[in-house]
Amino acid sequence: MQFENSLSFARGLDTIDPLKDFRKQFIIPVHDGKEQIYFLGNSLGLQPVRTQSYLQEILNGWGKYGVEGFFMGENPWIHYHDTLTKTLSTVVGALPHEIVVMNQLTVNLHLMMVSFYRPSGKRKKIICEAKAFPSDQYMFETQIKHHGLDPQEVLIEVAPRAGEHHIRQEDIRQAIQQHQDELTLVLWGGINYYTGQLFDMQAITQAAHAAGAVVGFDLAHAAGNVPLQLHNWDVDFACWCSYKYLNSGPGTVGGAYIHERYHGKTDMPRFAGWWGYEKETRFLMQQGFKPVQSAEGWQLSTPALLLQASHKAALDIIEEAEWGQIQEKRKLLNAWLWFLLDDLQTQVAGNIEIITPRAEREKGCQVSIHMLKNGKAVFDALSKAGIMVDWREPNVIRLAPVPLYNTFEEVWQFNNILRQILQQQA
Ligand SMILES: Cc1ncc(COP(=O)(O)O)c(C=O)c1O
């Protein structure tokens, strides 16, 4: 599409947007009496209007039936989990029985490490991205120490080359090949939280498998953002959170994917709990763990129904909006943002540098802008103007306009205000 940098053009794009009515399904925070321009879907997605009623439905069931709510009412809680995996299977590209909704992201990464990080003989090494999200770094450090090993020796971080912002795909492949005799696991972020770089997960999976290693992904910034095909890519496991692009509420329940080839391996090491026990005989409360032969076999505890309800409220919106349409709008909204930022860069040369890759296959909603001058002051001025983006030390502004509730006009307004602020600062 041939874009034009004007408010009327932005409004025209909103008029023909097939998802435009979905914005009304979200509560937009207000700043100085006006709706904020909220570009923090990469941090905490906005609250769907319907979330309250979904929570209320669980409370009503609890009030009406007590513990019998698990088996009674229109939506018995015992089957609630299945109502989540259908939409998630489209979002992450997995079979529904390869998905389990449980816990939070870091907890699930730890649980997956118990099953998939099995250092033995000289195969002990893990490859991960340099500057992984800190929680992942702490997870790696403590898991490796838990095996009595030294993180310095075991963990191999692949970093961007000097002077570059992105990690080259060829460097990941090369690191995997170089360490193939000692490698046991590649655990990578689907999208890097800082730069917004989207990685070729299929290529990473192929390279790791060729080296005899297992592959997992942290999809915090990818799930609900970009299309994924975990099953077809042959990924071994993955974990994600639901509070960013999946709009399910702060700290709400996360998810994990485990390829079906592992489901029948009932002797696989894992930390178990009664909710992962085979369903038919779970309530006989017998000794000896027998896992459900699906991803649910990794579940430990009684499901957090209120959190699942909050998750379902958001997933039902995705189902109604249709994942394919969401993806179409994501690409157009993002292309619009890049077009405007390119224009801006010609006007305020030397002030900003975009560190997110430009190629479509290497990015999702997020754009990270390296502020070359007065970054914090620019960020503060944006906040004052009601534009919610985030600041990452030492000098990056991240923003992520998302298809379900952001508009083309908001992107134009953001760019226009950013230009004014940069020109004032000059
Ligand atoms: C890439 C990544 N990994 C892990 C986490 C930690 O997630 P949680 O706090 O849900 O465990 C986050 C949180 O933002 C993240 O962005």
Site of tokens 């944006």: 382
Residue 153 sits at φ, ψ, to 5 deg, of -90, -25
pLDDT score of 349 = 79
Residue 204 CA to residue 181 CA, distance in Å, equals: 17
Residue 257 CA to residue 97 CA, distance in Å, equals: 9
Decide if pLDDT at 233 tops 90: yes
pLDDT tier at 350, thresholds 50, 70, 90: confident
Site of tokens 């075991």: 154
Ligand 1 pocket test, candidate residues 40, 44, 101, 106, most atoms within 8 A of CB:
106
CA atoms within 13 A on the CB side of 227: 15
Q: Say if CB 292 and CB 277 are below 8 A apart.
A: yes
Asked if residue 105 has its Cβ within 6 Å of ligand 1, the reply is yes
| Sign (positive or negative) of CA dihedral 67, 71, 76, 78 | positive
| Sign (positive or negative) of CA dihedral 8, 14, 15, 21 | negative
Q: How many whole angstroms from 136 Cα to the centroid of ligand 1? A: 8
Atom of ligand 1 nearest to the CA of 241: 10
Q: How many whole angstroms from 254 Cα to the centroid of ligand 1? A: 10
Asked if residue 189 has its Cβ within 6 Å of ligand 1, the reply is yes
In angstroms, how far is the first alpha carbon of the chain from the final one?
A: 33
Give the mean pLDDT of 398-417: 98
Q: How many whole angstroms from 193 Cα to the centroid of ligand 1? A: 9
Give the mean pLDDT of 82-103: 98
Decide if pLDDT at 402 tops 80: yes
pLDDT mean across residues, the chain: 97
Kindly report the CA angle at 358 between 354 and 362, in degrees rounded to 5? 115
Decide if pLDDT at 348 tops 90: no
* Closest protein CA for atom 5 of ligand 1: 135
C-alpha gyration radius of the chain = 23
pLDDT score of 389 = 98
Give the mean pLDDT of 116-138: 96
Q: What is the pLDDT of residues 239-268, one digit of tens each?
A: 999 999 999 999 999 999 999 999 999 999
Decide if pLDDT at 60 tops 90: yes
Ligand 1 pocket test, candidate residues 128, 187, 193, 311, most atoms within 8 A of CB:
193
Residue 328 CA to residue 246 CA, distance in Å, equals: 17
Q: Say if CB 352 and CB 371 are below 8 A apart.
A: yes
Give 239's strand partners.
Answer: 218, 256
Atom of ligand 1 nearest to the CA of 43: 14
pLDDT score of 353 = 94
pLDDT tier at 223, thresholds 50, 70, 90: very high
Decide if pLDDT at 426 tops 80: no
pLDDT tier at 425, thresholds 50, 70, 90: confident
Asked if residue 104 has its Cβ within 6 Å of ligand 1, the reply is yes
Q: How many whole angstroms from 258 Cα to the centroid of ligand 1? A: 19
C-alpha dist (Å) from residue 43 to 2, 105, 146, 363? 31, 14, 30, 16
pLDDT score of 142 = 98
Taking alpha carbons only, the member of 150, 208, 214, 151 closest to residue 175 is 208
Site of tokens 């570009």: 39
- The fold of 7-35+322-425 is Aspartate Aminotransferase, domain 1 (3.90.1150)
By CB atoms closer than 10 A (0-12, 13-18, 19+), residue 361 is exposed
Q: What is the pLDDT of residues 192-214, one digit of tens each?
A: 999 999 999 999 999 999 999 99
Quick check: pTM over 0.75? yes
Q: How many whole angstroms from 220 Cα to the centroid of ligand 1? A: 6
Helices 408-425 and 7-15 sit at what angle, rounded to 10 degrees? 160
Residues constituting the chain: 426
**What share of the chain has pLDDT > 70, as a percent?**
100
Architecture label for domain 54-320: 3-Layer(aba) Sandwich (3.40)
**What share of the chain has pLDDT > 90, as a percent?**
96
Q: What is the pLDDT of residues 281-313, one digit of tens each?
A: 999 999 999 999 999 999 999 999 999 999 999
pLDDT score of 1 = 86
Decide if pLDDT at 183 tops 90: yes
For 284-296, b/e burial (b = at least 16 CB within 10 A) is: eeeeeeebbebbb
DSSP H/E element including 174: helix 169-178
- DSSP annotation string for 74-136: SS-GGGTTHHHHHHHHHHHT--GGGEEE-S-HHHHHHHHHHHH---BTTB-EEEEETT--HHH
Sketch the domain layout of the chain as residue ranges: 7-35+322-425, 54-320
| Sign (positive or negative) of CA dihedral 268, 272, 275, 280 | positive
